[in-house]
Chains A and B, each alone.
Chain A
């Protein structure tokens, strides 16, 4: 393999991983942009999304033979899981965060950590602590395109995650509610003066963020086993990705997520760091980025209002 091909190979692997991180990082950054608070339960939503998708897929597929319906039911299961998590996200916001909106800033943060435990323990209680695998029956042997070997799972992950990001960018940039979301994150009081119902915007933000996490969870489940604390480490990494990209900035979360994926992949491949230490190297590099630019790559320094 030529060194160029090797580079593109790692690039593909890194983008695949990064796409998933980006999907999850978006939820953190969108909520932070509007409420200035970190939803620490976001990673656990991803876990619930993976489980719900898994169950829905098994249910929809039934005993049908391998074929088009198998793939369609996978997509339907993804949509179901996204909708389920969107509703769950909105419900959590209403019950655990909204009553604390005017409380001290640490209160909703602690509430979020509590919700995180409730979700992961609830999953362990309902579905057991044993890890499970999504039973995705299609052949996953790699195919070679232009000298790069890529698995069908990777292709699926790349298409779905990047399509989601494009859709979100268009929604936030062009649509009426998307613009209202941006306005609310820039200045909540003034947004209300425009007739924007901030509660609706907040609910929508949680719905979209949670739906993206659910999709991310299902994409993870393609290649990894699911267990009740699945969301903890993945969520943490996506959170770091959001901070590195510039918390509150949507393009920043996408960039940070993709960057994290690339750093992890290239860290192992190029620097020859043992697989087990890949998280360490990723975090070291991210710390360096933050030392150089504390507000994140695309973040803006918040000016004190006078």
Chain B
């Protein structure tokens, strides 16, 4: 078969040169693999959530309300249409019978039908309801390993929850409807029938009631939900269907995926630099061939097409390899990640993220090969033989520049169009462009300084400095690729460190040691006396607390109101609310006035100013809140500034006294005790008040820290891929320069340079590159981390020298390793073979 001449020439020209494309293929494969992997994994997790929706929800529909049970009328109505299972959940203390140890636990009381979907796994393998049943007058309980561990118990031992003793009959290995929840303690399962005996259910206690409904025809779920809304319009419940089985997990996955995708994209961009460098190095070896082809009649277009074809074939190979890795990732991660998230990851092939990764790959390959290809095609044959010193110096044509700009716009447009947070995507595009520009300028400044530096007295020093500005020098490529990799790593480490410090910082200074929840009205006096007279306790604070859900804003149903993303959380689920006659201490009013202490008019509310802005609310607007099944509408009287980072008692909404005063409610109290004194106070409270739960702020923050660390590890892993892409570029640069370095070393040796002279010059050159790169990466990484924290996360930036130092060390280390490592052969090369006459 006769191939078209362009194809035939492209193939012939590749003979013996395929190895030179290794870095090209690897760089593209790495970037595409990162994007395809993150996308596929995200899709697999979402598919897992959808597939497990029924299990996660615990049925086809779930009704959830706080405090009270559903009415007998509601129960009868539901039971006639579906199988109904009831679960009650609350946080409480579990303690040893001798009260020597206690632990906050996530208590779940289940009925005989639980679980409607899926199964509970126990160790030893017992029947769940047998294990929970009352035997010889004693109820059974099942707990996660953490409780056994913390209280020093084994199966068969007793624990006390509230006023009731339970026998621990098994260890809980897994529960089907757990999903990912921020647990403050181990899970304990008990029988719903035994809950009343614990005394934990008091008016106003934070007990969440979940009613799971299983239907004979699951497709009827929507109709039943509509019927329930119609039949019981004032019901306190919130109905969840299968498509919102795990909204928290969905949000978590979407958010994490976006951050990972952005870091993956930076890996692809750094890989693009490797692509550009590899194709440039390849084309430099083809100059003679191009010149010959041109002298034989090949026009510019044909030369462009020949090398575009070669680049295209290897780009497709790189993209295909990347996609294969991306496809494999969900299969590899299914088990460990599934266990962590509590869902079955659906490991299969997801075309959409793969297609997106391919388009990113093609655009990146096109963007980074266009300029070298255009330059090679544009060089006149007469120049090619003469101007071997500085190939690639030809200016790009207007057409090529327009092509480059179009590719940049397409890449940016694709990213912004497909990102779940456009603002963040735009920020990334601006940041990436600024980073490339900064490092380009920095490299230019370095070469300019090297050119204009005074002649140094030491030969090695002068050689090192002069090497930075040689024609065809790799300074720009190294500074840009290493710099971008190190910058991404710096940003990731700085953001993580800032978050970690933010958590730590608030702890000793402002945060209370304990939150005590569910303090009953009749217990308040005695509880307050116990805690405030406790010798080491200080900073006691106490407020009434209820749970309420915003149902309407300015009369419009909350689910119909468009709100800014950073205020969405206010409308999600129940919020703690309180009431107060006078401004709680530390209140900073930013607008409006507080009501008089003896105010008793229509209900007013003080709103967090930032949340109000996000929800589009201002003074005078109405907010309707469902509290204990009752709709209460209040007028916004003032706006407050709330500093959530202080971890003290804070509420989005503080109501005026009156209506809420008479509602069943509990108190929330906070107190500070010095480190080491926590156990004694906790024991004293739990001995006296079995129903009051103590949440240790330190432990809650540790839980938060663990979740953050998990996400941090994932982001770090992808950032490491970016750095790996940068190192691939360095390896490519070193390989491309190796021949020239060896030749130069040989000549220098002929002229009297020792190996030590050469090594010193090499080390100094790469030390300078590493140092300059580190300085700019630290500076730019710092600015980017600051912007990300302040603008995207609205958290303070905390400077930390450790990530900066680590990034600097890596930058210098990698520059030295790749710079010297790549040229070590040059030091020991025998001179004669290079000097013999041709």
Do they bind each other?
A: no
